Structure 1
Amino acid sequence: MTQLFRLADLLLFPETVRSRSFREVVTDRNKLRRALNRKSGIPLGALGELRPAATMADFVEEKFWKIAIPDFRKPTSQWLYLLPFEVNLSARLAGLEWRAVDAVRKRIENFQLSGMLRVYPPGVGLVRLSLWVTFKASAPLDTLLAIARNLEEPLFGPEGGEGEPVEQLLRAIIDEAAAALFGEEGRVEDRRWRPPEALFVPIDQEGFDPAAHASELAELLAYAAGQTETTAELTARLAAATAAPHWQRDRVFAAASQRAAFAFVSKEFAGGSAARQRRMRLWLAETWEMAAAAVYTAKAFSEVLLEIAGARSLDQTWAPPSEKFDFLSRAAASFRAALQAVALARTQLQSLGSGVLMTFAKDLWTFDNPIPESELHEALTYLEEWGNGQAAADFSSDLREIAALSHGFRPKARRENEP
Structure 2
Amino acid sequence: MTAAAGGAVERAFAVFLGLQRQARQAATAEQLGFTMVNDGQALFGFRHAALLIAGKVQALTGISVVEANAPFVAFVERAAASLHSRGAEAGPVDPAELDEQTVGEWQALSAAHACWLPLNDRQGKTFGGLWLAREQPFSEAELTLLGQLAETYAHAWLALRPGKPWRLRWPRRRIAMVLGAALLVLLVPVRQAVLAPAEVVPLGGRVVAAPLDGVVAEILVKPNQRVEAGELLARLDSTTLKAQADVAERSLDVAEAELKASTQRAFSDAQSNARLDLLAARVEQKRAELDYARQLLARSEIRAERAGIAVFADAERWTGKPVQTGERLMQIADPNQAQLRMELPVGDAIALQPGAEVALFLDSDPLQRHVASLERAAYEAQLTAAGQLAYRLDASFADSPPRIGLRGTAKLYGARAPLVYYLLRKPLAALRQGLGV
TM-score class, shorter-chain normalisation, is under 0.3
Which has a greater percent of strand?
2
Which has a greater percent of helix?
1
Q: TM-score, normalised by structure 2?
A: 0.20
